[in-house]
């Protein structure tokens, strides 16, 4: 099914990338398949391999290994923020963290926020992507409108949402209050959480939408036509043919949405609620920032980021393990 290849590239990541497409000048560096005991592709001269790897490795060293090392080394000490005094405290930072009710609340909020955000984003993006096929006039305009939020910086969109829903001056808040909803994200934690979810979903729907539209385009028309002849309606065709064929994309998006929810909603939260009221929207990442860069408690902040890193790693591994078997990459 060559037509589906496009979606594999997007959805499946690197797993199926052709390995022997060296081409041009590099072609001569690839040995013939007869080279005994070697894989089909390898470099005869190590310097080239090293050279090609260096940029990526440097990025990893500077943006992952050095920060991780710093975080690890800070997680076991208490420091004066200016760096003058440092006391080794062993696991104290972690013990204090796990004993802290604030930290538990933050973890619970982050979990349900990420799940709800994920379901809503994917659901809405799926709906919009499904509808794209049925928008005949102004399809370009339709797409552009949906894609627009992605071009707006998170902080700016946060400020706009915060203003629209501000209980004192916001037009949407006024409408809600007019129909009897006592909307007030400054005093009602749930309202604040809802606000953060709305803004995060709004910001991220377009991302999922692009991928879903691309994936749906790659679904072979012949299958859909065959299903139509068999009497399947629009919705039946979508769920019975299209969705199973784009599962790699959906899986990829689920992972990306979790990453977004866990790590990238910082700007939105900072602009709209600052983690409040009373810590109701203090997500784990926002807490790392608050404790580290506002409160200058670097030890605790480092411990939190270590925990977060472990969670992220474990979570990703589990997700891949659990979902890989059910996702058909070999369409």
Partner 1 sequence: MTGNKRGHGAVIGRLLAGAAVAALVLQAGGAMAEERTKIEWWHALGGRLAEIVDKLIVDFNASQDKYELVGINKGNYEETMAAMVAAYRVGQQPTLVQAAERGFLTMLNSGAVVPVPELMEKQGYDIKWDDFVAPVAGFFLVDGKPAAMPFNSSTPIFWYNADHFKAAGFDKPGETWQEIDTQLRAIKEKGVSDCSMVLANDFFWSMLENYAAIQDQPWGTKANGFGGLDTEFIFNQSPMVVGQLERLQSWMNDGVLQLAGQGLAPDQLFTSGQCSTFVASTAAHAGVESTAKFNWSATFLPHEEGVEPKNSTIGGGALWVMKGETDAEYAGAAAFLDFVASPATQAWWSKETGYVPVTMTAYEAIKADGYYDEHPTREIAILQLSRGTPTDNSRGFRFGNHNQSMQLLVKEVQSVWTGEKTAQQALDAAVEQGNQILRQYEKLHAGG
Of the ranges 129-137, 241-249, 268-276, 314-322, which one interacts with partner 1 (CB under 8 A)? 268-276
Residues 6+ apart with CB under 8 A from 201: 117, 120, 121, 124
User: Smallest distance, Å, CB 301 to partner 1?
Assistant: 11
Residue 6 binds partner 1 (CB under 8 A): no
For the beta carbon of residue 197, count every other beta carbon within 10 angstroms.
20
Site for partner 1 in 285-314 (CB under 8 A): 290, 293-297
With respect to partner 1, which residue has the nearer C-beta, 166 or 305?
Answer: 166
Q: Which of 278, 314, 317, 318 contacts partner 1 by CB under 8 A? A: 278
Q: Which of 7, 166, 193, 242 contacts partner 1 by CB under 8 A? A: 166
Residue 222 binds partner 1 (CB under 8 A): no
Q: Which of 37, 46, 84, 90 contacts partner 1 by CB under 8 A? A: 84
User: Smallest distance, Å, CB 150 to partner 1?
Assistant: 20
User: Smallest distance, Å, CB 255 to partner 1?
Assistant: 30
With respect to partner 1, which residue has the nearer C-beta, 165 or 238?
Answer: 165
Of the ranges 1-9, 22-30, 75-83, 120-128, which one interacts with partner 1 (CB under 8 A)? 75-83
With respect to partner 1, which residue has the nearer C-beta, 155 or 210?
Answer: 155
Residue 16 binds partner 1 (CB under 8 A): no
Residue 78 binds partner 1 (CB under 8 A): yes
Site for partner 1 in 179-218 (CB under 8 A): 185-189
For residues 100 and 287, what is the distance between their CA atoms, to the nearest angstrom?
Answer: 13
For the beta carbon of residue 52, count every other beta carbon within 10 angstroms.
12
Site for partner 1 in 146-165 (CB under 8 A): 155-156, 159, 162-163
With respect to partner 1, which residue has the nearer C-beta, 112 or 293?
Answer: 293
Residue 167 binds partner 1 (CB under 8 A): yes
| Chain residues that interact with partner 1, rule: CB under 8 A | 78-85, 87, 155-156, 159, 162-163, 166-169, 185-189, 271-274, 276-280, 290, 293-297
């Amino acid at each position: 099914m060559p037509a589906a290849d496009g979606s594999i590239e997007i959805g499946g990541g690197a797993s199926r990338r052709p390995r022997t497409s060296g081409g041009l000048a590099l072609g001569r560096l690839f040995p013939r398949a007869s080279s005994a005991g070697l894989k089909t592709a390898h470099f005869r001269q190590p310097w080239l391999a090293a050279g090609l790897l260096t940029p990526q490795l440097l990025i990893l060293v500077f943006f992952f290994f050095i920060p991780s090392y710093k975080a690890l080394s800070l997680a076991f000490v208490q420091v004066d923020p200016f760096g003058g005094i440092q006391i080794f405290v062993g696991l104290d930072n972690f013990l204090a963290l796990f004993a802290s009710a604030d930290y538990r609340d933050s973890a619970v909020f982050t979990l349900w926020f990420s799940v709800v955000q994920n379901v809503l984003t994917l659901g809405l993006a799926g709906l919009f992507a499904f509808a794209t096929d049925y928008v005949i006039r102004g399809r370009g305009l339709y797409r552009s409108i949906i894609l627009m939020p992605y071009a707006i910086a998170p902080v700016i969109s946060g400020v706009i949402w915060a203003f629209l829903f501000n209980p004192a001056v916001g037009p949407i808040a006024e409408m809600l209050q007019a129909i009897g909803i006592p909307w007030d994200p400054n005093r009602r934690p749930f309202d604040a959480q809802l606000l953060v979810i709305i803004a995060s979903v709004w910001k991220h729907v377009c991302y999922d939408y692009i991928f879903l539209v691309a994936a749906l385009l790659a679904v072979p028309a012949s299958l859909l036509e065959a299903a139509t002849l068999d009497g399947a309606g629009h919705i039946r065709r979508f769920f019975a043919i299209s969705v199973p064929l784009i599962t790699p994309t959906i899986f990829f998006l689920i992972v990306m949405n979790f990453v977004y929810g866990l790590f990238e909603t910082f700007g939105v939260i900072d602009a709209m609620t600052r983690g409040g009221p009373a810590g109701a929207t203090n997500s784990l990442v926002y807490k790392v920032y608050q404790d580290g860069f506002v409160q200058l408690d670097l030890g605790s902040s480092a411990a939190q980021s270590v925990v977060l890193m472990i969670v992220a790693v474990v979570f990703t591994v589990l997700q891949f393990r659990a979902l890989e078997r059910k996702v058909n990459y070999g369409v």
